[in-house]
Chains A and B, each alone.
Chain A
């Protein structure tokens, strides 16, 4: 099973060069069954990663480019009158794919954003009074440009919370970039073989469920959570949903490392992408979510003081 995972990561690594850790984290997010938010400047490989993840997991893939005039029906689908059969026929939208890439999600209006995010939470959509289940598994990979760019609608905290992880890719290192430049522009004809079948995915998720948490580790996660709720630098502490997400991600990470139990290193490996976007720094604290996570790791020990 670990060989399978390593192979998948290597596969994606062929198209997204030098981003081993981020690919591993993104895969962890998918295997944990969570939605993924990619936040970075344009041209950093967000779409490439999303596309590679979908194809390599052998899932159907749909993509919506979010714009400010995008309507909910553009994502969900619409009923069209068929004059031959004289009845309305539902034309499913891109959301009826296993992996939906919501590109530049923060460019759409809140109304459209919330239509998508509702679907993410419920795993079903209601159109024209009819409830239609979404395919399973169902993943949303959303990308967004950092919110200080103009013409964007920032996702509110409550919706950010729906994403299991938020990742930034960042610039590639010198060696990877050199390779990238040599290879030239290949966008569009990246065709990855599927390296994992649906059955294998189900098996992996079953294995994740088997991963155990020791008392000591649970206490560690509780102390981390309590720290965010008590330290003055935090305006809002981590919610129980956030703590659950941390546990789920750490479990998956442990499984990916071939262990049937979680160690603090697993938690520390996923804590930044899982927790940083859920934290709100207090008004007089200059740092952002990532700085807060660093502070948590500096301040909370693996055993009680």
Chain B
């Protein structure tokens, strides 16, 4: 293939089309001027194609490249990080288009296209992205074919079909590589994405934080139960534990804030029936995982934190699958150390005087046992509290006073916040738990889809002998929230899903949309579970189930062996179609004789006939040489036709 040849004209159109296709999903992540550069480059190149413009001279191209690099730095203030790198890649590929006049430039563009398409997966690995990439791969292969096409263009309309066939042929190889290629840990790590870009719970809770999540229908995680799915009101997905109050916000007490004697894990005793399920969580950029307490996970890399959460060592930058076993009847930390008791009771003494007074009255009446909790919950139930996504903003330091005596309008975190403060005032250790509650059941594959608007905050109080017990003050105000989900609780209110205007979830009352949506979610589960979730552990499990115990040497042997298994028939087939079987018997004899003569220094050139070879051989070999005799006989047989 002559790569110095001119870029075929049809290939140019395909290349430009491909470029736009691969940058399209990135457009939301890069500044708008990147698109402007793309359009400009494509226009310029088309004008060159129409002989209306010339290729910019080398110095101008160099200048353009430097300017574009500078613009990327100016836009992001840095070159380090995923976003600026992607932007730089896009700009480079756009500018490359201007100087693409040779076939070899076309190959560079196609390679860049493949690379840019792969970068999509750094942001998102869901099913639609994969499907989009399949189409993109097809287009890029078509471009490659167009690059190799004859100018007379006799294969023009069959290019996409040919590309499809080629991709079809590559599928066995793809499956083998997917199953067998070692999942090597990255040698370097791509600089993380911006944390704020992710929707989800954070480890600092201020009134209003959870409320915002009610506006989003993004999937937080999916759960597949092994057996029966517990009733909706039991589905409390415990995420973070917020036990330290300061500056109007609740935070998690850090490990480093613990004195050395307290740095231990009071592992609960597993009792009663267990629940088994698998969770696939979307990237959260956080360490902790969600599960129902008390949870243990057999998945490698998941550990139990001191507050009975599940967590991972590195922030979740991509989809992650983990298995969980939950013992709902286990009691958490039935004995509380004095230090911890103090920590879980800590509260600024000067805030919320009205509440403190009210709580003291109640304690005087019923003491500070379970009776008090009932008392407070019935206060929430009986007063005209109102559950809403649009609570009035409370800036007062005495948040609780303001909330429970004045505004009475709030979302779950308002109730949880107030309840914990009241408990601590009464001397009951209490803390806010952040997580999700409920989820949408997809009966097609027995999975539960938990979305951002399922975010919830509730409370754990510590009771003598029983340990930490879940109390949900929101349930007292709006029992339908935990029974039927948020949407039911907020029926007729504005603000719900305000940020997800086009989400299919919004339109699920349309039967057709809902039917499609649930099927899509089932497919997405399969995708996340079996394709994206196929990590090195899964791989080794699978291979062990096929081949028994796996050793590394074994693994390499299987990998190489599979290449042979796939490639050998392919090579055989390709050689077969080149067909030495077309040789006549006498031609086969002649070819063998030529090999023998070549070993003796008489090489036959391409196109040299037996006759000319014979003339040369006669001058170099002795007259009676048996091979010379054979050659003479073959030369006769080949051409006399007798």
Contact = CB atoms under 8 A, between A and B. Distances in A.
A261 B610 CA distance: 14
A216 B612 contact: no
B583 A297 contact: no
Contacts of B611: 263-265
A304 B579 contact: yes
Contact of B587 (A282, A298, A299, A304): A304
Nearest to B1: A232
Contact of B638 (A216, A300, A301): A216
A199 interface: no
Nearest to A280: B152
A305 B639 CA distance: 18
Given A303-B590, A303-B591, A214 B639 contact: yes
A43 B424 CA distance: 118
B257 interface: no
Contact of B640 (A212, A300, A304): A212
Interface residues of A, number: 27
Given A215-B641, A216-B584, A302 B608 contact: yes
A191 interface: no
B586 A216 contact: yes
A262 B150 CA distance: 35
B590 A212 contact: no
A284 interface: yes
Interface string B622-642: 000000000000010011110
B578 interface: yes
Contact of B583 (A232, A262, A300, A303): A303
Nearest to A212: B641
A247 B162 CA distance: 36
Given A268-B607, A303-B587, A262 B639 contact: yes
A300 B605 CA distance: 11
A277 B612 CA distance: 27
- Most chain A Cβ neighbours within 10 Å, of B582, B583, B609: B609
A7 to B, nearest CB: 25
Contact of B6 (A263, A265, A284): A284
Given A265-B609, A298-B606, A282 B151 contact: yes
A283 B151 contact: yes
A305 B580 contact: yes
A83 to B, nearest CB: 60
B583 to A, nearest CB: 5
A234 to B, nearest CB: 9
The size class of the interface chain B forms with chain A is 20 to 34
- Most chain A Cβ neighbours within 10 Å, of B6, B606, B635, B639: B639
Given A216-B586, A264-B607, A265-B609, A305 B641 contact: no
A17 interface: no
B442 to A, nearest CB: 54
Contact of A215 (B150, B578, B584): B584
Interface string A85-105: 000000000000000000000
A261 B640 contact: yes
Contacts of A71: none
Nearest to A232: B150
Contacts of A283: 151-152
A192 interface: no
Contact of B639 (A217, A268, A299): A217
Interface in A281-305: 282-284, 297-305
A226 to B, nearest CB: 11
Contacts of B609: 263-265, 268, 302
B605 to A, nearest CB: 9
Given A282-B151, A303-B591, A298 B607 contact: yes
B151 A261 contact: no
A117 interface: no
B615 to A, nearest CB: 10
Interface in B523-573: none
A213 B583 contact: no
A249 B638 CA distance: 20
A217 B609 CA distance: 10
A284 B152 contact: no
A115 interface: no
Given A263-B611, A265-B611, A284-B6, A213 B641 contact: yes
B504 to A, nearest CB: 49
A282 B150 contact: yes
Contacts of B583: 303-304
A123 to B, nearest CB: 31
Contacts of A212: 640-641
A258 B6 CA distance: 49
Interface in B578-616: 578-580, 582-584, 586-587, 590-591, 606-612
A169 interface: no
Nearest to A301: B606
B586 to A, nearest CB: 7
A300 B640 CA distance: 21
B590 A301 contact: no
Given A264-B609, A303-B587, 18 more contacts: A214-B640, A214-B641, A216-B586, A216-B638, A235-B151, A261-B639, A261-B640, A261-B641, A264-B639, A282-B150, A282-B151, A297-B607, A300-B607, A301-B606, A302-B608, A303-B590, A304-B580, A305-B580
23 contacts: A212-B640, A212-B641, A216-B587, A216-B638, A235-B152, A264-B611, A265-B611, A265-B612, A268-B609, A282-B150, A282-B151, A284-B5, A284-B6, A284-B151, A297-B607, A298-B606, A299-B606, A300-B607, A301-B606, A303-B583, A303-B587, A304-B580, A304-B587
Interface of B: 5-6, 150-152, 578-580, 582-584, 586-587, 590-591, 606-612, 635, 638-641
